[in-house]
Amino acid sequence: MLHLRLITPADRTDEVVRLIDRTVGTTHLVVLPGCARDPEGDVVMCDVAREAGDELINRLRALGIDSSGAITAENIDLSLSEHAARAEKDAPGEPADAVLWEQLEEATHEESTLSITYVAFITLATMIAACGVVLDNAILIVGAMAVGPEFGPLAGVCTAIVQRTPRLALRSLIALLVGFAVAMAVTVAFSWMMDAFGLFSESKLEADRPNTGFVYAPDWFSFVVALLAGVAGTLSLTSAKSGALVGVAISVTTVPAAANAAVALSFGDTGQTVGSSEQLLLNLGGIIVAGTLTLLAQKALWSTQRRRMTKPT
């Protein structure tokens, strides 16, 4: 269930209440006249089944409540109420399958913003992966994959394509490209420093690496895994099952490929640099394609449920 808290202009409150009453899956309606001060108006609260939440929010936005008042949505962790159980039963579909597009856009907006923290995480992840590829250490590679924050901007690109929001697409692409560019540049300098201390060497990079050689050898399996990871990651975001994102992060070769490209570039190995770059682009492209198709499928699925969101009169 979701808890909605609305601030509505006094002359729109009755219309908002009627809208909530007509929406399947709503309950616990509370109206507090004149309680809001900034902006001024009435406070209307209700609980709504997750399956019906997106449609109700869209209808409220169509009334202009987001501009003349406010719409706040929160997840409810526990609700002991027969009314709530009935509302969830009446709402079409399953809660885990529902997509809250406004919440998804907000989440991807935050995750896809180019910030110092984002750049720090992707840079540290790339440097950890650099140590992993030189030492042929699979544990370091997995750790670097888990640290990398690149799925946020990738999800932002997918969401922007489906929702047709160019600004989100541009912001996500900037975070993705600038983040990897800075991370790889710093990792090149890091590789030179480690070489100066005798910790990295070209012989280690060129040696047989059974555990990490895949990062510069792209093939169809890499693309298939990227597609599967893109689907899993998107479903994780839209169903609020964020725990699955860790599994997604450690199943695709993005950060390790960028790290190997940077280390190879520092030693002048053109072959590994090109191969790693191809691996990186192949994985990024696969995730974007799969994520976009998954969101389009979810959008099409839930569009068929809209006619069941209104209570019969």
- Here the CATH number for the domain that contains residue 114 is 1.20.1080
Burial class (CB in 10 A: 0-12, 13-18, 19+), 259: buried
How many other CB atoms sit within 10 Å of the CB of residue 250? 16
State residue 238's pLDDT score: 81
Assigned domain for 179 exists:
yes
Quick one: 83 and 113 in the same domain?
Answer: no
> What pTM does this model have?
0.82
Neighbouring residues of 193: CB distance < 8 A, sequence distance ≥ 6: none
Please indicate, yes or no, whether residues 138 and 286 belong to a single structural domain of this protein: yes
User: 3-state DSSP call for residue 31?
Assistant: strand
The verdict on 164 and 292 lying in the same domain is yes
- CATH, residue 64: 3.30.70
Residues 6+ apart with CB under 8 A from 118: 149, 152, 175, 179
| Beta strands, E only, 162-285 | none
- The answer to whether residue 268 is domain-embedded is yes
pLDDT in tens, 187-197: 999 999 999 99
pLDDT score, position 310: 63
What's the CA gap between 264 and 212, in Å, rounded?
13
- CA distance to 36, 39, 89, 114, 197, per residue, from 18 (Å): 20, 22, 21, 42, 72
In this structure, the number of other CB atoms found within 10 A of the CB of residue 136 comes to 17
∠ at Cα 26 (20, 31), nearest 5°? 55
170 in the same domain as 120:
yes
Do 129 and 81 belong together in one domain?
no
Q: Which residue among 62, 96, 130 closes a domain?
A: 96
The tokens describing 242, both together, are 């964020």
**pLDDT at residue number 133:** 95
If asked whether residues 108 and 228 sit together in one domain, one would say yes
Counting the structural domains of the chain, the total is 2
Residue 284 identity: L
> Which of 23-32, 34-43, 74-83, 273-282 comes out lowest in average pLDDT?
74-83
C-alpha to C-alpha distances, 289 to 224, 230, 285, nearest whole angstrom: 11, 8, 6
> Pick from 246, 259, 157: which is nearest to 215 by CA?
259
pLDDT of residue 233: 85
Residue 114 three-state SS? coil
pLDDT tens across 107-149, in order? 777 778 899 999 999 999 999 999 999 999 999 999 999 888 9
* 90 and 113 inside one domain: no
Bond before 39 cis per omega within 30 degrees:
yes
pLDDT (tens digit per residue) in 218-230: 989 989 999 998 8
Does 112 lie in the same domain as 91?
A: no
Q: Which amino acid is at 44?
A: V
| 69 in the same domain as 194 | no
Domain that includes residue 29, residue range:
2-96
